[in-house]
Structure 1
Amino acid sequence: MPWMIETYDRPGSGDLRLRLRPAHLEYLEANRHLLLACGAKLDDNGEAASGGLYLLAVESRAEAEAFIAADPFHTGDLFERVFVTRWRKAYLDGRNTLNEE
């Protein structure tokens, strides 16, 4: 069953996010086989990011925690909080996936 990771950036860390972003994107590309979806949480104008959401196809909490621990955003100390939660995939890309598991 997939895992969801929700991250919250440290207040006032916009510049740090921008500096770490190229390494973060490289990390995501190298691990894209694990990603069901991911992306930044944005303000109402769609401009400033304040954290992110990752949906991972991994089997255990330990794998999800290892994934986020190795992310350059995490190693660069961008995150104030990180939540790792088991996730039940019900609909993905408009398709009912409940019978696929």
Structure 2
Amino acid sequence: MDFQINAYDFTDAAAIDRRMAARQAHLDNAKKMKAAGHLIAGGAMLDASGKMIGSTLYLRFDTRAEVDAYIASDPYTTGKVWDRIEVKTIRLVDL
């Protein structure tokens, strides 16, 4: 199954510092997820000024429980970067 994740960052003054502190671990984890076939694509959501305000991910897992486990273990979750997370089941088209 394919999933779209929209994860919105906390908005407090220290939020961007937490994002930057956890960023390398998050990207390292993303590379592992890509190699395992779970991460299809992803990137930062930006506001009008280009500031990172969250993340969008396209994931492939067999179950929603696996998605939830991934989210719970991601450095952006454990590092208090992501505040509000939306998970949607989607159907991607392979062109």
Instruction: Please state which band the TM-score falls in when normalised by the shorter chain.
Output: 0.7 to 0.9
User: 1:19-69: per-residue Cα shift (whole Å, max 9, x none)?
Assistant: 1101111111111121111111012243x1111011111121101111111
Give every structure 1 segment of 4 or more consecutive aligned residues whose post-TM-superposition deviation is greater than 6 Å.
Answer: none
Letter in 2 for 1:65: D
Partner of 2:68: 65
Partner of 1:37: 41
Identify which of structures 1 and 2 has the higher relative contact order when contacts are C-alpha pairs closer than 8 Å and 6+ apart: 2
Tell me the distance in 2 between the aligned counterparts of 1:54 and 1:65: 13
Aligned residue for 1:81, secondary structure, equals: strand
The answer for unaligned runs of 5 or more in structure 1 is 96-101
Partner of 2:78: 75
The answer for unaligned runs of 5 or more in structure 2 is none
Question: With structure 2 as the length reference, what TM-score do the two structures score?
Answer: 0.87
Question: Number of paired residues?
Answer: 91
1:23 aligned to 2:25?
Answer: yes
Tell me the distance in 1 between the aligned counterparts of 2:30 and 2:40: 11
Question: With structure 1 as the length reference, what TM-score do the two structures score?
Answer: 0.83
Tell me the distance in 2 between the aligned counterparts of 1:63 and 1:43: 30
User: 1:71-91: per-residue Cα shift (whole Å, max 9, x none)?
Assistant: 10001111111111101113x
Q: Which structure: larger Rg?
A: 1
Letter in 2 for 1:60: T
CA RMSD of aligned residues (A): 1.3
